[in-house]
Chains A and B, each alone.
Chain A
Amino acid sequence: MDKVMAEPVLQINELVKNFGALRATDGVTLDLRPGEIHALIGPNGAGKSTLIHQICGTLRQDSGTIRLAGVDIGALSTADRARRGLGRTFQVSSLVSEFSALRNVMLAVQAKQATSFGFFRPVMRDVSLIEPAMAILERLGLAHRARLPAAELSHGERRQLEIAITLALQPKAFLLDEPMAGMGLEGSKALTLFLDGLRQEAPILLVEHDMDAVFTLADRVSVLVYGRIIATGTAGEIRRDPAVRTAYLGDRA
């Protein structure tokens, strides 16, 4: 089936969120279709993270709907949404800091298996947790750091660990909030390559300031300014869009 015609995995409709007098999300409508990378770009403070928070349920929208695989998830708890298939990373790494990298991923594997009410079997002897978690760490090149507490990892490694955790969830949609931030040139390149392959597993909503990565990866790009989407289109269309050029890319073009 044609990608464009396929039922969207994630469909956001007329989402609104106010922080007091500030309208951080202003009637956002957006969708994420199977197999695509949909990049969300916009200047600092545009409301990108706020949007991700609302999709995941860490913030509640004032109005509007959020559908995942056709089901309205707008009133569910964060945990319920995750169980239904949202895998997100945080702009500022958010990990279980005393746990090792391995245990951070194992916890996600355990969450995916929906078995957090086991009281007697030690996790560190549980191959059904350790093996998949190790495999994911290897995939991201973090295996040699598996036993280190998350707090002791380098910034780049923490960013990768965030992605490892979402991989363990095998989500229906990835929501990545600036995964390249602070990764360095090499790191960004490797990650770009990695994400390129990842879209086969599930579509990605990618918030990113790194324009090279965005224009390399994105099937579609949406531009958010002051909480509003001012344009959506292919990378080429966005580059040519006059509104985008003045509002956002203007200083770069």
Chain B
Amino acid sequence: MTRENLVNILLAVALLAAPLAANALGQAFYVTLATRIAILALAALGLNLALGLGGLVSFGHAAFFGIGGYAAGILAAHGFSGEPILFGLPGTVQMPVIWLVAVFTAAVVALLIGAISLRTSGVYFIMITLAFAQMVYYFAVSWPAYGGEDGLSVLVRNQFPGLNTMVPLNFFLICYVILLVAIALFALIRASRFGAALQAARQNEIRVATIGIGPFRIRLTAFVLSATITALAGALYADLNRFVSPSMLSWHMSGELIVLVILGGVGRLFGPVAGAALYVAFEFALGSLTEYWQFVLGLILLGTVLFVRGGLLGLFAGKARHG
């Protein structure tokens, strides 16, 4: 077993063991903290597919995170009130249905945003994804039906067949299982033909085109896949907080997602988990010390970028290996 695999297994076990222990000790707060880690890790995992494997520096993934969140919030609001959404379509409080809608909506939006943004590259791509996410943000802010700037509450956490989702541990387990499934999918994709083409296009676009693989379609597919995973995380996040607001769509959120990926280690299987754990731990530990914890976070982040290459997993699991 490689050192990276060992670290990965440790991370997976720790992320499960900590909330189980906290639950046994009656510390529900820590279960919620672990849930937050799992969900943010899932969101970052989505981004890692585009950013880590494809080299697509999307500064607009908050759009998909927020779309997932609003899908959950809007469906739940209608499911709760019984009013149809549009054309007699009903809302729902069933998580699996909500997830499907979140994933599908994000896929459609990502297809549109990706089709335009991927015509460009480099800084243009960064700025354009940012701008499109901002467009979605302003749309949410100025559309009053679902709370506008104030956001939208999810009165009762949505349901999952056979589980009481109001029990924090149950909801954690749902998120944890989804995270593990997503990690497994990520691993499969990375090792697949598609993954090979995507990673090759990151390293040498012209080479890939010259052997007859169009980088555009590969990247667009990756971008859409990536968006759907992040949107799923957004839907879960709405249920965790029982609240959605434009802040989920803000560019700050996009930045944070990139930070999670980088803190953990770009392109690493468990990088997002390590990044999210570190981030939430910072937020919790520093946040209890000072109101201005983001100042310290900024310094740490700056130090990481300038002096520590390869992120947390780079530090503990050695250099990334490529087949």
Contact = CB atoms under 8 A, between A and B. Distances in A.
Given A95-B204, A96-B203, A98-B203, A118 B193 contact: yes
A218 B207 CA distance: 27
A94 interface: yes
B interface, over-half SS: helix
Interface string A106-118: 1110111011111
B101 to A, nearest CB: 22
Contact of A107 (B188, B189, B197, B322): B197
Interface residues of A, number: 42
A151 B202 CA distance: 15
A126 B194 CA distance: 13
Interface stretch (B34-42, B209-217, B272-280, B293-301): B209-217
Contacts of B200: 96, 99, 107
Contacts of B115: none
B211 A122 contact: no
A149 interface: yes
B206 interface: yes
A79 interface: yes
Contacts of B188: 119-120, 122
B207 A122 contact: no
Contacts of A169: 211-212
Contacts of A95: 204, 207
A198 B101 CA distance: 55
A110 B196 CA distance: 10
Interface in A118-154: 118-124, 126, 129, 149
A58 to B, nearest CB: 6
Interface in A73-90: 77-80, 82-83, 88, 90
Contact of A58 (B197, B206, B322): B206
Contacts of A110: 193, 196-197, 213
Nearest to A115: B193
B191 interface: yes
Given A99-B322, A122-B188, A94 B207 contact: yes
A122 B214 contact: no
Given A82-B209, A118-B193, A94 B204 contact: yes
B323 interface: yes
Contact of A77 (B194, B203, B207, B214): B214
Interface in B291-323: 322-323
Interface in B131-153: none
Contacts of B211: 82, 107-108, 111-112, 165, 168-169
B140 to A, nearest CB: 32
Contacts of B194: 116-119
B197 A116 contact: yes
A217 interface: no
B193 A123 contact: yes
Interface residues of B, number: 27
A110 B200 CA distance: 12
A92 to B, nearest CB: 11
B218 interface: yes
Contacts of A108: 211
B264 to A, nearest CB: 19
A56 interface: yes
B192 interface: yes
B212 A82 contact: yes
> Most chain-B CB neighbours within 10 Å: which of A77, A99, A129, A149?
A99
A157 B209 CA distance: 22
Nearest to B322: A98
Contact of B213 (A103, A111, A126, A149): A111
A97 B203 contact: yes
Nearest to A120: B188
B210 A116 contact: no
Contacts of B197: 107, 110-111, 116
A100 interface: yes
Contact of B210 (A88, A99, A121): A88
Contact of A103 (B204, B218, B323): B323
A174 to B, nearest CB: 12
A96 B197 CA distance: 10
Interface string A206-230: 0000000000000000000000000
Contacts of A129: 193
B221 interface: yes
Contacts of A78: 206, 209-210
9 contacts: A78-B206, A80-B214, A83-B212, A94-B210, A96-B199, A99-B200, A107-B197, A120-B188, A126-B193
Report the 5 A-B pairs with minimum CB-CB distance, sorted nearest first.
Answer: A82-B212, A79-B214, A78-B209, A122-B191, A118-B193
Interface of A: 56-58, 77-80, 82-83, 88, 90, 94-100, 103, 106-108, 110-112, 114-124, 126, 129, 149, 165, 168-169
Given A82-B212, A118-B192, A120-B188, 4 more contacts: A78-B206, A99-B196, A107-B208, A124-B191
